[in-house]
Amino acid sequence: MKKFIRRDPQHRDQVPFLQLLPNLVTLSGMCLGLTSIRFSMDGRYDGAALLLLLAALMDGLDGLLARRLNATSNFGAELDSLSDFLCFGVAPGLLIYRFFLEPSNNFGWIFVLVFAAACCLRLARFNVMRDENAAETSHHFLGVPAPAAAMLGLLPLFVSR
């Protein structure tokens, strides 16, 4: 028979707010990416692109905050990768599809799938290699970071405006 242990509210493990701040910034960036998808579906392409630029700023800010506040964690790193996949793999692909490729129907959709898959693979590889010795991997090209790849993918939209 299992015994249920009641914890005294005075002694529970508490995480200081400053330790949570980088993850809250990451979630805010993810919300910007989701809102960008919504704007893309509504045909508000300029707003969608602006939200992705803001998401890229948030992505840089969350890592900076985590390092400065000594709040880095495996959870935060995984959350950041999931947010990056949404903001810089899925959202830009959908935006470009809606803006340029939708008339091509299925053919244009293939480019969205390839872009999202490439982003996903790069992030997964980065996560696996994160624990390896940095000296061993510093001499190898690991691919374009997700935010930079998104901005490169959005370049036709920026040029057309």
Position 7 scores a pLDDT of: 52
Instruction: Give the Cα separation of 96 and 54 in Å (integer).
Output: 17
Position 144 scores a pLDDT of: 85
Q: Which two tokens stand for residue 93?
A: 């692909």
Domain coordinates in residue numbering, the chain:
17-132+142-160
Say what the pTM is. Answer: 0.84
* Contact (Cβ atoms closer than 8 angstroms) between residue 56 and residue 150: yes
pLDDT tens sequence for the chain (161 residues): 455 545 555 655 676 888 899 999 999 999 999 999 999 999 999 999 999 999 999 999 999 999 999 999 999 999 999 999 999 999 999 999 999 988 887 888 999 999 999 999 999 998 888 777 655 656 677 778 999 999 999 999 999 87
Position 79 scores a pLDDT of: 96
Position 106 scores a pLDDT of: 82
Position 8 scores a pLDDT of: 53
Which CATH superfamily groups domain 17-132+142-160? CDP-alcohol phosphotransferase transmembrane (TM) domain (1.20.120.1760)
HEC string of 75-139?
A: HHHHHHHHHHHHHHHHHHHHHHHHHHHHHHCHHHHHHHHHHHHHHHHHHHHHHHHCCCCHHHHCC
